[in-house]
Amino acid sequence: MLPELAFDKLGADLLLAMCEGHGNVGPIVISKGEKMAKVRTDVPYQLVTILTNIYPFIGQKKLALLCRRCDEKALAELEKRGLVDEKRVLRIGLACSADQIKACRCSDPVPSVVHIGAPGKPAGEDELMNKLLAMPSEERLKFWTAQFRKCNKCFACTLNCPVCFCDDCVLEERTFVAEKGIPPGMSFHLIRTFHLSDKCVECGECERSCPAGIPLLTLRKMAAKDMKALYGFVSGDKKKVSPLLTTLEGEPMEDECHEC
């Protein structure tokens, strides 16, 4: 059972998962010995994001969390930047169901160690992405402006993203997102995509939490394709430095600021 796995086997002090409660399913954090309601892996919350909200407060405690492959990669990106101590964040490998893999158009669905669920096969390619890439650019622009026109500046994509870590978000700055009110125009989304280009792990949380139904995951996949084509780079590997932080020869740059 999950608590035994987390506390006894992995030696955690805290466990973060999603459970039933009050007629709903939501995140919970329990300590060793506390009771836990039924775990619901069919309602996946972005637990890495939730972890980052409470991480400043957990001191030296070890926290175990349900961890999908994308969550693993997100943790790797955070660890790379010194934002999370890998020794204190213990992963309980969660394999996504076939429906979840399909909904995410996921090409990399199996965590390194699987504790819960059966490993699934990667999904096919993102159909919308292929459709957009085949379109002439005027049509593509029309598609994206129609989508961005619905944006309500709720910041859900930013707040729910596991690798969005800046305290002072550039999207809140008048300098860059000049439009008063809503919709915030194209710069909001392009800036966000650029900032995520070397970090996004395609977990899909942005798309799932967007009230306007904008296909943000497709946009991320397009950016990921670009990074692969330009620099052979794929996010989520702790050992790979972001190509935006290395010289043309691939040497890491002397740098305090990880913002890019």
Partner 1 sequence: MNVEHVLTTCPYCGTGCNFYLQVVDGRLVGVVPCKTDEISLGKLCIKGYNAHAFVQHPDRLIHPMVRQGGDMRRVSWEEALDKLASEIKRIRDKYGPDSIAVLASAKCTNEENYLFQKLARAVIGTNNVDHCARLCHASTVAGLLYSFGSGAMTNTIPEFDNADCILVTGSNTLEAHPIIGSRMLRALEKGAKIITVDPRDTPLSRLAAIKLNQKSGSDIAWINGMIKVIIDEGLVDGEFVETRTTDFAKLKEAVSGYHLDKVESITGIPKDRLAEAARVFAKSKRAMVAYAMGITQHSNGTDIVKALANLSMVTGHLGKESNGLNPLRGQCNVQGSCDAGGLPNLYPGYQRVDDEQTRAKFEQAWGQRLPPKPGLTLTCAVKDALVGKLKAMIIFGENIMLSDPDITHVEQALKELELVAVVDIFPTETSSFAHIILPAACYAEKDGTFTNTDRSVRLLRKALAPPGEAWPDWKIACELAKRLGANGFDFASPAQVMDEMAKVTPIYGGIDHSRLDSEHLRWPCPTKDHKGTSILHTQKFTKGLGTFAPVHHKPPAEEPSEEYPFILTTGRNLFQYHTGTMTRRSPKLEREAPEPYVEINTGDAKRLGIVDGERVMVSSRRGAISLKAAVTDRIIPGSIFIPFHYAEAPANRLTNAALDPVSNIPELKVCAAKVQKA
Partner 2 sequence: MTEFEPTILAFCCNWCSYAGADLAGVSRLQMPPNVHIVRVMCSASVKPEYAIKAISQGIDGVLVLGCHIGDCHYMTGNHRTAKRFPVVQKLLEDVGIDKTRLRLDWVSAAEGEKFQKVVTEFVEDVKRLGPNPLKEVRF
From residue 253, give the alpha-carbon distance in Å to each of 82, 161, 246, 258: 16, 26, 5, 11
- Contact residue for partner 2 among 98, 113, 141, 166 (CB under 8 A): 141
Asked if 178 is part of the footprint of partner 1 (rule: CB under 8 A), the reply reads no
Residue whose pair of structure tokens reads 């160690």 in the numeric block = 113
> How many residues bind partner 1, per CB under 8 A?
39
- Contact residue for partner 2 among 81, 103, 238, 243 (CB under 8 A): 243
Cβ 17 to partner 2 shortest distance, Å: 36
* 132 DSSP 8-state letter: H
Check whether the bond before 183 is cis (ω within 30° of 0): yes
Burial of 26 (0-12, 13-18, 19+ CB in 10 A): middle
Residue 50's binding partner among partner 1, partner 2, none (Cβ under 5 to 8 angstroms by kind) is partner 1
Interface with partner 1 by CB under 8 A: which range of 176-184, 188-196, 220-228, 238-246? 176-184
Through-space distance between the first and last CA atoms of the chain, rounded to whole angstroms: 42
Residues 98-157 interacting with partner 1 (rule: CB under 8 A): 149-150, 152-156
Asked if 197 is part of the footprint of partner 2 (rule: CB under 8 A), the reply reads yes
Residue 35's binding partner among partner 2, partner 1, none (Cβ under 5 to 8 angstroms by kind) is none
- Contact residue for partner 2 among 98, 113, 118, 190 (CB under 8 A): 190
Cβ 49 to partner 1 shortest distance, Å: 8
Which residue number, 26 or 243, has a Cβ lying nearer to partner 1? 26
Which residue number, 19 or 191, has a Cβ lying nearer to partner 2? 191
Which residues are CB-contacts of 156 (< 8 A; sequence separation ≥ 6)?
Answer: 206, 209, 210, 211
Contact between residue 54 and residue 64 where contact means Cβ atoms under 8 Å apart? no
Residue 27 φ/ψ, nearest 5 degrees: -75, 145
Contact between residue 25 and residue 18 where contact means Cβ atoms under 8 Å apart? yes
Asked if 257 is part of the footprint of partner 2 (rule: CB under 8 A), the reply reads no
- Contact residue for partner 2 among 20, 153, 185, 208 (CB under 8 A): 185
Cβ 57 to partner 1 shortest distance, Å: 5
Which residues are CB-contacts of 113 (< 8 A; sequence separation ≥ 6)?
Answer: 91, 93
Taking the C-alpha atoms of residue 184 and residue 162, their distance in angstroms, rounded to an integer, is 23
Burial of 127 (0-12, 13-18, 19+ CB in 10 A): exposed
Binding region for partner 1 (CB under 8 A): 14, 21-29, 43, 45, 50, 53-54, 57-59, 61, 149-150, 152-156, 159-160, 172, 180-183, 208-213
Binding region for partner 2 (CB under 8 A): 132, 135, 137-145, 148-149, 170, 175-179, 183, 185-187, 189-191, 193-194, 197, 219, 222-223, 226-227, 229-231, 243-244, 246-248, 253-254, 260
